[in-house]
Amino acid sequence: MIPKIKLFLVLVLVIIGLSLSYYSFDYNLFTLSSIESDQLLKRDGGVTVENVSQVSGREIAKYYINRHMIYSLKLFRKISYPLNLAVYFNFTQNNFYPYVILPMFIIGCLYTIRYHLAYLFLYIFVSAIFTCTVISSKTIILYYPLILTLVIIGLYLSTRYVHKLRR
């Protein structure tokens, strides 16, 4: 039963990923405007690409900032956007999942980490690839099937535990 669910989930993920890549492709994936790079680097108005490169005077720092840091920042910001609990569960905003099911999600999550870690890695890896190609606001859709499954697992395990206690 479980291998079938796993296969089904991956299939759903791939279908969603391909559809999103087709309809919501991120055309700015490999381009970085000067405003965007300043936004990424100039936290609290501190530093810009230009002045850090100018001051550090070291080739390694210049190379690191211009070729590595801003792109890795952009990439990690994209990949991590859907890996934020607040996007799915939040009291102060109306989100996809109500807060009351968060405990179920946590139980499901711990169970999956304990018994199906490799599969979880696979799901996150495939999602991360699609996340890169899809515009940020849509990337959370990729995780909806997983979260829903984890909530169901959590719900199932809790009810089973309650039944056990009753007996």
Helix, strand, coil percentages (3-state) for the chain, rounded to 5, are 80, 0, 20
Q: Which is nearer to another protein, 8 or 99 (CB)?
A: 99
Nearest to residue 25, comparing CAs of 141, 123, 146, 131? 131
Q: Which is nearer to another protein, 64 or 156 (CB)?
A: 64
What CA–CA distance (Å, rounded) separates 165 from 167?
Answer: 5
Q: Which is nearer to another protein, 13 or 78 (CB)?
A: 78
* Identity of the amino acid at 25: F
Task: Compute the least distance from the CB of residue 158 to another protein, in Å.
Answer: 17
- Quote the distance between the C-alpha of residue 84 and its chain's center: 7
**Contact present, 108 and 152 (Cβ < 8 Å):** yes
Task: Compute the least distance from the CB of residue 133 to another protein, in Å.
Answer: 18
What CA–CA distance (Å, rounded) separates 119 from 113?
Answer: 9
Task: Compute the least distance from the CB of residue 78 to another protein, in Å.
Answer: 9
Place of tokens 């840091």: 69
Q: Which residues bind another protein (CB under 8 A)?
A: 41, 43-47, 51-52, 54-56, 58, 60-61, 64-65, 69, 72-73, 76-77, 79-81, 83-86, 89-92, 99, 102, 110, 113-114, 117, 120-121
Q: Which is nearer to another protein, 11 or 113 (CB)?
A: 113
Q: Which is nearer to another protein, 164 or 166 (CB)?
A: 164
Task: Compute the least distance from the CB of residue 73 to another protein, in Å.
Answer: 5
Beta-carbon contacts of 20 under 8 Å, excluding residues fewer than 6 positions away, are: 130, 133, 134, 138, 139, 141, 142
Task: Compute the least distance from the CB of residue 129 to another protein, in Å.
Answer: 15
